[in-house]
Amino acid sequence: MHKLLVLYNEPKDRAHFRKYYVETHLPLAKKLPGLRASRYSFDVKPLGPGKAPYFCIFEAEFENEAALMGALGSNEGKAVAGDVPNYASGGVTMMHFAVG
């Protein structure tokens, strides 16, 4: 299995981010070809003291790295990537990795 992890920094407008993300962006992401499962959370908490460095976390699972890269390069993947600036005003970090 291969995972995509997306870490969203604090946005300028939390309410806009939440509404847009749930109503518009997630439905786009669910159309990614080869997507096996996905999940997200706005309830991000640090284990120690202080504030969590991220506002939202998204995780997606694919069969393998080739499936993930194919999904990102697809028309649906390009639509998802192109949509990110519409809500992620605080910036975003994306990474992927194999799961053993």
| DSSP state for residue 84 in the 8-state scheme | G
Q: Using 50, 70 and 90 to split pLDDT, how confident is the model at 44?
A: very high
pLDDT of residue 1: 97
What number is the average pLDDT over the span 54-61?
A: 98
pTM: 0.93
pLDDT of residue 100: 85
Spatial strand order of the sheet with 56-62 comes to: 37-41, 56-62, 2-8, 92-98
Q: Which domains does the chain have, with CATH numbers?
A: 2-98 (3.30.70.100)
Give dist(CA 65, CA 69) in Å, integer: 6
Give dist(CA 51, CA 63) in Å, integer: 34
